[in-house]
């Protein structure tokens, strides 16, 4: 099962290290990912992956709406990404004989 939390409403001072410090007391953290805005380089959201589902559940209960450097965090279970199926390729039959830029189809000359 998924043991990853989604954290939003991050303050500007958010780093991987201070998220590990804040969320560490709830369990063993396997990975922290902080996404930043392309233009401003400010943190926008984070994913924190725990070793167990119980640790993840405890962190949601303890950190959702908690004050983190002056902002109330929004913490929830991370949803799995939906992968779009590959587009189907539609092959239509050709209408009539192939004709190139030179006119009708060419074949051997019959006399």
Q: What is the pTM of this model?
A: 0.72
CB 19 within 8 A of CB 34: yes
Residue, of 64 and 100, whose pLDDT is higher: 64
Identify the pLDDT of residue 82. 78
Identify the pLDDT of residue 86. 79
- Give per-residue pLDDT as tens, 47-62: 999 999 999 999 999 9
Mean pLDDT of 30-43: 94
**pLDDT for 102 beyond 60:** no
Share of the chain above pLDDT 90, in %: 68
Question: What's 100's DSSP letter?
Answer: B
Query: Token pair for residue 106?
Result: 């060419």
Q: Counting Cβ atoms within 10 Å, is residue 4 exposed (0-12), middle (13-18) or buried (19+)?
A: middle
């Amino acid at each position: 099962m998924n043991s990853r939390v989604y954290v939003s409403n991050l303050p500007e001072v958010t780093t991987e290290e201070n998220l590990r410090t804040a969320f560490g007391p709830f369990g063993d953290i396997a990975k922290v990912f902080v996404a930043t805005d392309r233009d401003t380089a400010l943190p926008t959201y984070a994913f924190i992956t725990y070793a167990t589902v119980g640790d993840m559940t405890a962190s949601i209960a303890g950190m959702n709406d908690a004050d983190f450097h002056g902002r109330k965090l929004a913490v929830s279970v991370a949803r799995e990404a939906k992968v779009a199926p590959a587009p189907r390729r539609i092959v239509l039959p050709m209408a009539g004989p192939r004709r190139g830029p030179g006119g009708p189809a060419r074949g051997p000359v019959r006399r």
